[in-house]
Amino acid sequence: MAAQIKPKRLLKGARIGIVNPAYWLEPERQQRAVRVFEELGYVCVLGRSTELKQDTYAGAPEDRAADINAMFEDTSIDAIICARGGYGGNRVLPLLDYEVIRANPKIFVGYSDTTGSLTSIAQRSGLVTFHGPMLTTYGKHTIDYNLDTFQNILSGRAGLEIRAPNACRARTLRPGAAQGPLWGGNLTLVNSRLGTTEQIDTSGAILFLEDVGEDLYKFDRMMLHLRNSGSLDHISGLIIGEMLEMSDSEVPFGKNVDEIVMDVCGDLDFPVISNFPCGHGDYQATLPVSHDVELHALDDDPFIRIPDSPVA
């Protein structure tokens, strides 16, 4: 694991590079999202990958990787936000120049399939990355919670608390408090790294997981796989984000998301919360991957506290 590096904080007037590591984004949604950032006082610089299409992808893997590398190397760019997720980012990971990224640390934001980029960059370059809303989110609708959390986390303030909004209440499944580096993201992507050189070291970590459009039995299988791999044995805490559009079979599986989580890891000794606003829902908190956080789950209003700012 490389020594940790914090990117510089986001200032008004910052130039934000937009890249597409996986799927392409519809032009109208991209344009709407760009207007949102421009109204906040930022300048959006569209990378070449935002104009490319190759089947479902935003160009060939080489094109997408080159765009990300170029944005890190460009000294005029202050931060990088991914346009959208979708399958395909795994083809980009071996082509990223982690030495360039380490030498030019910048805010890098995404979620969903971008989990692969977030974790690989943090592991191999040491750069703190950010699991948060992308252009596809702002291209659909603008929610103050998402913008406020994004700006607060990236502003350089210390001691911030991230709480769930009333419209997306988080639940405490096992009370307690924990501290450790925050790792995780999309459950499917986290599972796909098991047994590879990119597997996340979860020892002492606060692990967060989210997903969308999975069958309950598949969710159960992925959680069991995490447990059987040893990935849950030594974590400090577990955050389950919104698990959206989880479908049941004709013969009911018999457990909901919370029940599956506690069935798999209920005998392990760490605090567990669920339905936290991170992932594919309308409410998306910005979370610092690989950075130390605190999990407070002592009542019916669990929250994450970030003692030290994840940006410099």
CATH number of 131's domain: 3.40.50.10740
Spell out the residues 6+ positions from residue 94 whose beta carbon is closer than 8 angstroms to its own: none
Q: Is residue 8 part of a domain?
A: no
Q: Which of 142, 177, 196 is the last residue of a domain?
A: 142
Nearest residue to 108 (alpha-carbon basis) of 95, 98, 118:
118
Q: For residues 137 and 167, state if they share a domain.
A: no
For 92, half-sphere exposure in the C-beta direction (CA atoms, 13 angstrom radius) is: 31
Which one is catalytic: 49, 117, 120, 210?
Answer: 210
What pLDDT band is residue 125 in, cutting at 50, 70 and 90? very high
Q: Is residue 148 part of a domain?
A: no
What digits encode the pLDDT tens for the residues 84-117? 999 999 999 999 999 999 999 999 999 999 999 9
pLDDT at 219 over 90: yes
Q: Is residue 68 part of a domain?
A: yes
Nearest residue to 297 (alpha-carbon basis) of 275, 278, 276, 272:
272
Q: For residues 301 and 165, state if they share a domain.
A: yes
Q: Which residues of 13-44 are buried (b: 16+ CB within 10 A; e: fewer)?
A: ebebbbbbbbbbbeeebbebbbebbeeeebeb
Q: For residues 50 and 116, state if they share a domain.
A: yes
Q: Is residue 10 part of a domain?
A: no
Q: For residues 126 and 248, state if they share a domain.
A: no
Q: For residues 170 and 137, state if they share a domain.
A: no
What digits encode the pLDDT tens for the residues 127-155? 999 999 999 999 999 999 999 999 999 99
Q: Which residues of 234-254 are buried (b: 16+ CB within 10 A; e: fewer)?
A: ebbbbbbbbbeebeeeeeebe
pTM: 0.98
pLDDT at 2 over 90: no
Q: Is residue 147 part of a domain?
A: no
The rounded percent of the chain whose pLDDT value lies above 90 is 99
Q: Which of 142, 168, 191 is the last residue of a domain?
A: 142
Mean pLDDT of the chain: 97
pLDDT for res 1:
79
Q: For residues 183 and 129, state if they share a domain.
A: no
Provide mean pLDDT across the span 54-65.
97
Q: For residues 165 and 285, state if they share a domain.
A: yes
Q: Is residue 111 part of a domain?
A: yes
Report CA torsion sign: 182, 99, 49, 214. Answer: negative
Q: For residues 299 and 200, state if they share a domain.
A: yes
Q: For residues 126 and 225, state if they share a domain.
A: no
112 is catalytic: yes
- Range(s) of the domain holding residue 259: 160-306
What pLDDT band is residue 283 in, cutting at 50, 70 and 90? very high
Which one is catalytic: 112, 117, 120, 236?
Answer: 112
pLDDT for res 149:
97
234 is catalytic: no
Q: Is residue 6 part of a domain?
A: no
Q: Is residue 182 part of a domain?
A: yes
* Number of folded domains that form the chain: 2
Q: For residues 170 and 127, state if they share a domain.
A: no
- Number of neighbouring beta carbons within 10 Å of residue 307: 12
Q: For residues 203 and 116, state if they share a domain.
A: no
pLDDT at 81 over 90: yes
Which one is catalytic: 280, 294, 296, 309?
Answer: 280
CATH of the domain at 263: 3.50.30.60
Q: For residues 111 and 229, state if they share a domain.
A: no
27: its two tokens = 């032009």
Q: Which of 107, 142, 177 is the last residue of a domain?
A: 142
